[in-house]
């Protein structure tokens, strides 16, 4: 099975550089353009299944690519608690101790009211493990978020959790991972060229 990973298109929070995960924002007009472009790149792929986050930015993106998708809340982005919809500069100024703790140990420092990173990583790992067992022929679309997709990829490539920072997913591209008998192979990353079905 081949997995096509797509990050949702731009939102207003992306545009403003704000922390956000669980805040349910729609795509901006530019985000719609990005997702429509990705749909065109994948027009030659006959998806047998699609998995999507519950959040509307991912749902909107998926709907531009495929008519129907299955929702999995484990694909939702991490919840940043009281840091949601705030810029890092204001957090550093208003909560300097908490901000420094996060910089020093981001895997264990949880923003107030937010989701602990180990819990977030655990739910994404559970999805990754389940998908590794999907070895039948076919193509699956997965539409989610930066944190989710980077963790999926790090886990599939048997890399440590902190490797997620090495995978900045573009909002106008697709990534493809091939499952070869439970061994995951990264075939393309952040591709912005049309995918040919015979590749």
Percentage of the residues of the chain whose pLDDT score is greater than 70: 99
Q: Is 87 annotated as a binding residue?
A: no
Q: Which of 15, 33, 77, 93 is catalytic?
A: 77
Q: Is 12 annotated as a binding residue?
A: yes
pLDDT of residue 198: 66
Q: Is 10 annotated as a binding residue?
A: yes
CA distance 40 to 42: 5
Does the pLDDT at position 151 exceed 90?
yes
Q: Which of 8, 79, 145, 155 is catalytic?
A: 8
pLDDT of residue 199: 59
Q: Is 43 annotated as a binding residue?
A: no
pLDDT-based confidence at residue 158 (cuts at 50, 70, 90): very high
What's the distance, CA 109 to chain centroid? 21
Domain boundaries in the chain?
2-81+116-191
Structure tokens at 167: 């995978």
Q: What is the pLDDT of residues 62-111, one digit of tens each?
A: 999 998 899 999 999 999 999 999 999 999 999 999 999 999 999 999 99
Looking at the structure, give the CATH architecture of the domain made up of residues 2-81+116-191: 3-Layer(aba) Sandwich (3.40)
Q: What is the pLDDT of residues 39-51, one digit of tens each?
A: 999 999 999 999 9
Q: Note if 155 is an active site residue.
A: no
Q: Note if 77 is an active site residue.
A: yes
């Amino acid at each position: 099975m081949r997995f096509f990973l797509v990050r949702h298109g731009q939102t207003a929070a992306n545009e403003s550089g704000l922390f956000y995960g669980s805040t349910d924002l729609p795509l901006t007009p530019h985000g719609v353009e990005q997702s429509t472009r990705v749909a065109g790149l994948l027009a030659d792929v006959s998806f047998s299944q699609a998995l999507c986050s519950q959040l509307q930015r991912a749902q909107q993106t998926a709907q531009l690519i495929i008519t129907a998708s299955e929702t999995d809340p484990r694909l939702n982005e991490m919840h940043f608690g009281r840091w949601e919809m705030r810029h890092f500069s204001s957090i550093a100024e208003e909560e300097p101790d908490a901000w420094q703790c996060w910089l020093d140990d981001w895997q264990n420092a949880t923003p107030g009211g937010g989701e602990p990173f180990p819990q977030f990583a655990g739910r994404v790992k559970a999805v990754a493990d389940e998908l590794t067992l999907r070895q039948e022929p076919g193509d699956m679309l997965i539409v989610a978020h930066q944190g989710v997709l980077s963790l999926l990829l790090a886990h599939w490539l048997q890399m440590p959790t902190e490797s997620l920072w090495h995978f900045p997913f573009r909002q106008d591209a697709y990534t493809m991972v091939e499952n070869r008998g439970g061994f995951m192979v990264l075939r393309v990353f952040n591709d912005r060229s049309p995918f040919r079905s015979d590749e």
